[in-house]
Amino acid sequence: MAFKFKRGFLAKSKTQIVLIGIIFLCLPGMYNALNSMGGGGQVDSSTASSANTAIYALLAIFGILGAAVINQAGVRMTIFFGGLTFSLYTLSYVYYNKTGKSFFTILSGAILGIGAGIAWTGQGMIMTSYPIEKEKGNFISIFWIIFSLGGVIGSAIPLIVGLGDKPLPDSGYIAFAAIQILGSFLCLVLVPPTKVIKTDGTTVEIQSKIDIKEEIFQLVLLFKNKIMLVFIPIMFASNFYNSFIFNIFNLTNFTSDSRGFNNLIFYIFEIIGAFLISKILDMKTTRRRRAYISSLIVYLIVNILWILIFFQQRRFDALKKDPEFTLYNYKSTGSKYVYPCILYAMLGTMDAIFQSYAYWMVGSLSNNSTVLSRYVGFFKFIQSIGSCVSYAIDASGVSSLTQFIINWVLIITILPSMAYLCSKTVETFETTADKCDVEISSSSSK
C-alpha cells in the first residue's frame, strides 16, 4: 500500500509523534493494560510470566537487530508487521480460556517478542530524532501521554465487563485485539523519515544508505562504546520492576476488578508523570544541568517509592496470615484501600518519569535518525534482557521479598551510571551521520 506525501500537516514532526503515540496506544498500550492486570488477565500468573519471558528474550534480540531491519526496510512496514504480532498474542488467551493449555500463548509470546522488538526500535528512533534539541523532552512526553491513554482505555475494559474475581473472558481479549489490529493499520499512515519536517523547518537527519554488512558492523561497535556500556545498568533496571509491580503487588493483593481499577489510576498517573518530567527535561538551562537535575529527581523518587512499597507489601504479607483475610476490593474494603492504591498510582508516575528520562538521555547522544535507531535498539536489547530475567524469576516462584530486594539493589546501583552520563552530556550534537559513526568507533577504542 503506497502513499504520496506532501510537505503538509501529515509530514510535520509533531504530527508524526502524535500518530506514533496513537499507534502505540493501540499496540503495547493494550498489551500493558492486559499485562498490568496481573497474569495477563488470568488468576494464575504462571502462563503470563512464562510468555513474558519468551517475549522479552526475543525482544532483546530483535530490539537490537530491529535497527538494521528498519534502516534497510523502512519504518512504516516494519512497525505494521510488528504490530500484528500484538493481536496474535492477545487472541492466544482465547485459546487458553477454552483449553487451559499454555503452549500457544507462550509461542505467541515469542512471536510477539520479534515484532515488538522491531516496533519499539522504530518508535524510539521517531521519538528521539524527529524533535529539535530543545523540545526532545516535550516530544517524549507527548508520546508517553498518548501511549499511556492506551492503558487507561484498556484498564476500563475489565471494569466495564465486570470481572469480579474471575479471569478476563473471551470478549475482553477480543476487544483488546480489535484495538491492536486498528493500531497496526494506522502504521500505514506514517511518513518516511526523509519526508518529515521538524518544527524549525529542517528535515530529519539520516545517514546515506549502507549495506547490511556495514549495518551489522555498526551494531557490533555499540558493544565497544563506553557510553553505551555505562548506560547498561539504567537500561537493565528500567523495566525490571514491572513483574513485581504487576504480578506481586497488584495481582496478589487485590481482586480482579480492583486490579483493573488500580491500573486505570496507574496510567492516569503515568500521564501526569510524563507531563511533569518534560518540563524539567526542556527547562531553560544548560543540557548538562538538566541532566543532573532530572537524574537526581528520578533517583530520589524511585528509591523513596520502593521504601514505601516495601513496608506496604510487608503489611499485606502479615495480613494474609489471617485465614479470614480477603483480597482488597475498591468497592468493599473501605478507607484501607486508599493508601495502597495511591502507592500503586505513584508507581505509574515513577515509570513515566524513569522511561522519559532514559529516552531523553539516549536522544541527547545524537540527532541522526539512523544512529539513534541503533542506540534505541541497544537500549531495548538491554532493557528486554532485564525484563526477561525479571519474569523468569517470577515464573520460577521466587518469594516476593527476594524479588523486592533484587529490584531495589538494581535501582540503588544506577547512580554511578547516571553521574557519568551527566558528566558527558554536551550542549548540542549537530553532526553528520558519518561523523557519528566515526565517534562511535573512536570512543569504543579508548
Dihedral angle of Cα 197, 358, 86, 171, to the nearest 10 degrees: -110
Percent of the chain exceeding pLDDT 70 equals 88
Query: Using an 8 Å Cβ cutoff, are 132 and 200 in contact?
Result: yes
Measure the CA–CA gap between 74 and 218, rounded to whole angstroms: 17
Query: Using an 8 Å Cβ cutoff, are 234 and 414 in contact?
Result: yes
Cell triple for residue 435? 561523523
**Structure pTM?**
0.85
Burial class (CB in 10 A: 0-12, 13-18, 19+), 210: middle
Residue 4 maps to a domain:
no
Residue 3 maps to a domain:
no
Cell triple for residue 226? 563506553
Collect all residues with Cβ–Cβ distance below 8 Å to 385 and sequence separation of at least 6: 56, 60, 236
Of residues 204, 197, 216, 185, the one with CA closest to residue 72? 216
Residue 64 maps to a domain:
yes
Measure the CA–CA gap between 360 and 82, rounded to whole angstroms: 24
The DSSP annotation for 376-398 comes to HHHHHHHHHHHHHHHHHHHHTT-
Going from the first residue of the chain to its last (446 residues), give the mean pLDDT of each consecutive group of 10, the final group possibly shorter.
Answer: 58 93 93 67 61 83 85 87 93 84 87 92 90 90 92 76 65 87 93 88 75 82 93 95 90 84 91 94 92 96 95 92 89 93 96 95 88 90 90 85 94 96 82 41 38
Residue 444 maps to a domain:
no
Check residue 212 and give its pLDDT.
77
- Which CATH number goes with the domain that contains 391? 1.20.1250.20
Check residue 175 and give its pLDDT.
85
312-371 tens-digit pLDDT: 999 999 998 888 889 999 989 999 999 999 999 999 999 999 999 999 999 988 888 888
Collect all residues with Cβ–Cβ distance below 8 Å to 212 and sequence separation of at least 6: 68, 72
Collect all residues with Cβ–Cβ distance below 8 Å to 236 and sequence separation of at least 6: 382, 383, 385, 386, 410
Cell triple for residue 305? 517509592
Question: Cell 518516511 belongs to which residue?
Answer: 192
Check residue 173 and give its pLDDT.
85
Check residue 308 and give its pLDDT.
96
Residue 108 maps to a domain:
yes
Residue 445 maps to a domain:
no
Check residue 96 and give its pLDDT.
83
Looking at the 3D structure of the chain, how many domains does it have?
Answer: 1
Amino acid, res. 382: I
Residue 318 maps to a domain:
yes
Residue 410: in which H helix or E strand, if any? helix 400-412
Query: Using an 8 Å Cβ cutoff, are 270 and 344 in contact?
Result: no
Residue 223 maps to a domain:
yes
Query: Using an 8 Å Cβ cutoff, are 358 and 350 in contact?
Result: no
Residue 164 belongs to what domain range?
9-436
Of residues 10, 67, 8, the one with CA closest to residue 189? 10
What's the mean pLDDT when you consider all of the chain? 85
Go through 142-168 and write b for each residue having 16 or more CB atoms within 10 A of its CB, e for each that does not: bbbbbbbbbbbbbbbbbbebebeeebb
Q: How many angstroms separate the Cα of 43 from the Cα of each of 34, 97, 357, 392?
A: 12, 11, 34, 18
